[in-house]
Amino acid sequence: MISTKLQDVFNNQIQAEMYSAHIYLAMSVESEAKNLSGFASWLRAQYQEENSHAFKLIDYLLERGGSVKLQAIDAPAAEYGTPVELFEKVLAHEIHVSNLINKLYEVALEEKDYAAQIFLQWFIAEQVEEEATASAILERLKFVGDKGGSLLYIDKELGKRA
């Protein structure tokens, strides 16, 4: 059985992952409206990935005999600015999620829940990848700026993400 304290933090993380999905969906919609279909596609894939993270947490909590308590999800912003500003927000959000995962892991340590510690290592590694990817895209965007052929090239490259 999972402790009540750890169960509550898992439920908070489920809510955070679902909120992340909503943010990425809103970013995708805005990008599509700006005719940046590659950005939109990449962000939609992020949306799907964040939902899968939420389900992974839900399944784990249920496997451990915990109770899943879905929480309200705030509406995300509707506008995110230029592509550079958008990816600054993506990176900042991924850093925020990393901090949440780290706090969840700290609770697993405090509760001496070794199974949860092992389970959460996947999320910790995933966040390293998420931050690195967002940072790399942001740096490329800063290099080329928000307009011109180079931006369209990055848009095309982002659209290749499956």
Residue 12 confidence (pLDDT) above 70: yes
Q: How far apart are CA 102 and CA 100, in angstroms?
A: 5
> Does 53 appear as a known binding residue?
yes
Structural domains in the chain, CATH included, are 4-159 (1.20.1260.10)
> Does 15 appear as a known binding residue?
no
> Does 96 appear as a known binding residue?
no
pLDDT tens digits, 115-131: 999 999 999 999 999 99
> Does 157 appear as a known binding residue?
no
Q: Is 78 helix (H, G, I), strand (E, B) or coil?
A: coil
pLDDT band at 162 (very low <50, low <70, confident <90, very high): low
Angle at 156 between CA 150 and CA 158, to 5 degrees: 105
> Does 46 appear as a known binding residue?
no
Tokens describing residue 45: 């894939």
